[in-house]
Amino acid sequence: MKTIAYFAFVLLGVIWGSNFIFMKWAAEYITPQQVAFLRVVFGFIPLLVFAVIRGEIRLRDMRHIHHFVVMALLATAIYYFAFAKGAALLLSSVAGMLSGAIPLFTFVTALLFLREERSTPKSLTGLALGFAGVVLIARPWQLDGAQMADGGVSLVGTAYMVAGALSVGCSFVYARKFITPLKLSAVSLSTYQIGIATLIFAVATDYTNIDLVFSDPKAAWGLVVGLGILGTGLAYILYYFIVAKLGAMAASGVTYLPPLVAMAVGGVLVGEPIAMLDVFAMIAILIGVFLQQTGKRIVPVSKKGV
């Protein structure tokens, strides 16, 4: 069973790392908001079927719907839209590299809002190194805000990727404080989260010309299968399978794979230009994440006065 879990680990990293080129293709025809909406629609369908088969949907869980709404916003709606917008403005390989900074933002928000999280010199060094990598990729000293034809980076696109990473970071902290104590299954939580996000997008999305993405088979299959069925629906199922079989700490290591996959897909398969500075910056981010995750300290918090 562990062999299957490790296979699922690699598969999940490949799926998440491939998402950026699929977002890039879809954004050539429809808006980033429409990309995010269709992604959650096609991702919610297999997730709902899986949850129903397992009997994970319960009406009594709706007393916690306010928490599900917050998670739907932080961990899906804002996150998916920001990454779709960033991928539309950046090379897919660059967007994928920047996604490697997600654990850094999680650490920052945890330090601010979780009293049991404590920094150490090792974790702070990792944090500084990781954010230095983000700055090297963005290169704000030479940008005019638009993506340049020679492989330059859009500062606006970088800002959207940072916003998406920050949103996910906040969602992890919120989940630890308010969702984990509910003792609900991961499958049911994911289904509620994606379902509510689908409703949010359904109300907020402008549907004008949304069908254009289906005029290009490559973009359509990438959106429906790559981003929706695999990148959202199956990805959640794989992730929680890995957590159950290998543990949460091992599962968190999957965040190291998407930047590498995105760089390989963008550079090798699609032919996007990859600057050596970007490669060094991505390595800095990954090393920073490793130092931050292995160097953080958790202290017990007394319940007295809480």
- Chain segment 198-234, per-residue pLDDT in tens: 999 999 999 999 999 999 999 999 999 999 999 998 8
Task: Report whether 77 contacts 196 (CB < 8 A).
Answer: no
| Dist CA 13 CA 96 (whole Å) | 11
Q: Output the pLDDT for position 231.
A: 92
| pLDDT at residue 103, as a whole number | 79
d(CA 254, CA 16): 9
Q: Kindly list the distances between the CA atom of residue 77 and the CA atoms of 82, 163, 194, in Å, as whole numbers in the listed order.
A: 8, 12, 9
Please state which of the ranges 19-23, 150-154, 299-303 shows the lowest mean pLDDT.
299-303
What was the pLDDT predicted at 152? 57
What's the pTM value of the predicted model, to 2 decimals?
0.85
pLDDT of residue 302: 44
The separation between the first and the last C-alpha atoms of the chain, rounded to the nearest angstrom, is 41
| Dihedral sign from CA coordinates of 257, 159, 76, 62 | positive
Query: d(Cα 139, Cα 114) in Å, to the nearest integer?
Result: 32
Residue 306 has pLDDT above 70, yes or no: no
Residue type, 14: V
Task: Encode pLDDT of 35-93 as tens digits.
Answer: 999 999 999 998 999 999 999 999 999 999 999 999 999 989 999 999 999 999 988 88
Q: What local confidence, expressed as pLDDT, does residue 147 receive?
A: 44
Confidence of residue 133 (pLDDT cuts 50, 70, 90): confident
What pLDDT shows up at residue 145?
Answer: 45
Amino acid at 243: V
Q: What single letter denotes the amino acid at residue 170? A: C
Q: Per DSSP, what are the bridge partners of residue 117?
A: 298
How much is the pLDDT for 2?
75
